[in-house]
Amino acid sequence: MSKEEVRLFIGPQHPGITGNMSIELLLKGDTITWAKTHIGYLHRAFEKLMERRIFIKSFPLVCRICVPEPDTNEENFARGLEELAGIEIPERAKWIRTLVLELSRLQMLIMWYGGIAGSMGLSTPVQWGIGDRDYILDLFEELTGARIYHIYIMPGGVRKDLPDGFEEKVLRAMDMIEKKLPEYDEIIMENAVVQKRLKGLAKIPKGWVEEMGITGPVARACGFPFDVRKDSPYEAYDQLDFDVITEEGCDVWSMLLVRRREIDLSIKLIRQIIDKMPKGEFLTRLPNVLYWKIPSGETYVKSESTRGEFGYYMVTDGSDKPRRVHVKGPSFIHGITLAERLLVGQNIADVAPILVALQICPPEMER
């Protein structure tokens, strides 16, 4: 650090940071010359606690690993246990899970869409985004009884069947959201300030994507069609008809475009799922979950969250508790390895949009 440079901490208490984390910057004028991410403010030792709990008692824990999008965690953990224990789940359960995952993705994306505008000082879409997200949270409340932490997906299927008339309510909510999206576009996408600021901001070199393990919308904004839903389909995604969305710009504007188009994709997928939903059982009979022992084995299950590839590395040893569960959140790479390199050379005012565009979710970095 030379005398011309200023050391500045953004976070943990800062309105522009994406959660309880902190970024340490060295500034020369208002250009960043060095960046370092500090995490650990939300470390609750989930992985250690899971080693002490029987399998079914871990479900309330896993959904708290990423707060805005908890269903990805539940689904991953349940699917890993099913794979290790050799349980087949009914067809309807797969479709209901896919519906829940897509609804959860959509609510996160809508909130994000408002959030990136908020990071540039446009506070109207923030209010809209959080308000419109409540249409989906109300659906979740009817389905599972809770707004945020659902604990709805469990090994063997899902906890309850869809209530009567739920499909129509989902479709009505989709219509409602779709009707509002042009207003968002008008205020965000067609805004000259947003275009001027985001186009060409924080260009990611294409070589970094595979080498660093960048996944999800950030990789797709660089032109790499990486989507776990397509690459190794889980649940009912292999029976759905959709294309992977890519953009070529590598910058924050392309990440915004990818996610904007994913909102449309999610709505389309939800309509397809409702259309194709089969009838039948929603839960297989499990052995008594209090005595449930899973034979020894190891596996890595993954799924596509809004932020990228979410993975669970699970090792069992034949007892009634897991030997090891390691959660791979996409933000670990995006928030530490990528952000530290990407922020160098940027303007201090652009830190908030870049962090929001990478969609860094601190609790999944430190678990």
Partner 1 sequence: MELVERLKKKFEVIGFKKQRKDLFIVETTKKDLIPMLFYLKEYEGFRTLTLISYVDWIEEGKFQLSYILWNSRTKDNIIVEFRLDREKPDFETIYRMWPQAEAYEREIHEMFGVNFEGNPTQHEELILEDWDDIPPMRRDFDTLKYSMERFGERESKSGINIRKEISEQYDEWRRK
Partner 2 sequence: MDKDKYFLNEKPGKLTYSGVFKRIDDWTRARSLWVVAYGTGCGAIEIRPTFTSRFDAERLGMRMAGTPRQADVIIISGYLTVKTLKRVIRVYEQMQSPKYVVALGACPINGGMYYDSYNAINKLDLYLPVDVWVTGCMPRPEAILAGFKRLQELIDSGRADGWKKYIENLDWYRENQKKIIKNWRMPNYNW
Contacts with partner 1, residue ranges (CB under 8 A): 39-40, 43, 45, 47-49, 51-52, 83, 210-213, 224, 226, 231-232, 290-291, 297-300, 302, 309, 311, 313, 315, 323-324, 326, 328, 332-333, 336-337, 341, 366
Q: Choose from partner 2, partner 1, none: what does 28 bind? Cβ within 5-8 Å by kind.
A: none
Residues 118, 126 contacting (CB under 8 angstroms): yes
Q: Choose from partner 1, partner 2, none: what does 223 bind? Cβ within 5-8 Å by kind.
A: none
CB of 74 to partner 1, least distance (A): 20
Angle at 71 between CA 64 and CA 265, to 5 degrees: 135
CB of 306 to partner 2, least distance (A): 14
Q: Choose from partner 1, partner 2, none: what does 288 bind? Cβ within 5-8 Å by kind.
A: none
Q: Choose from partner 2, partner 1, none: what does 172 bind? Cβ within 5-8 Å by kind.
A: none
Q: Which residues bind partner 2 (CB under 8 A)?
A: 12-15, 19-20, 40-45, 48-49, 52, 60-61, 64, 67-68, 126-128, 130-131, 133-134, 137, 147-149, 363
Query: At a CB cut-off of 8 Å and minimum separation 6, what does 214 contact?
Result: 204, 208, 222, 308, 333, 334, 338
Nearer to partner 2, 52 or 199 (CB): 52
Q: Choose from partner 1, partner 2, none: what does 134 bind? Cβ within 5-8 Å by kind.
A: partner 2
Say how far apart CA 352 and CA 113 lie, in whole Å: 14
Residues 345, 357 contacting (CB under 8 angstroms): no
Residue 113: exposed, middle, or buried by beta-carbon count in 10 A (0-12, 13-18, 19+)? buried
CB of 110 to partner 2, least distance (A): 12
Say how far apart CA 41 and CA 22 lie, in whole Å: 9
Residue 287: exposed, middle, or buried by beta-carbon count in 10 A (0-12, 13-18, 19+)? exposed
Nearer to partner 1, 95 or 312 (CB): 312
Q: Which helix (H) or strand (E) holds 112?
A: helix 91-118
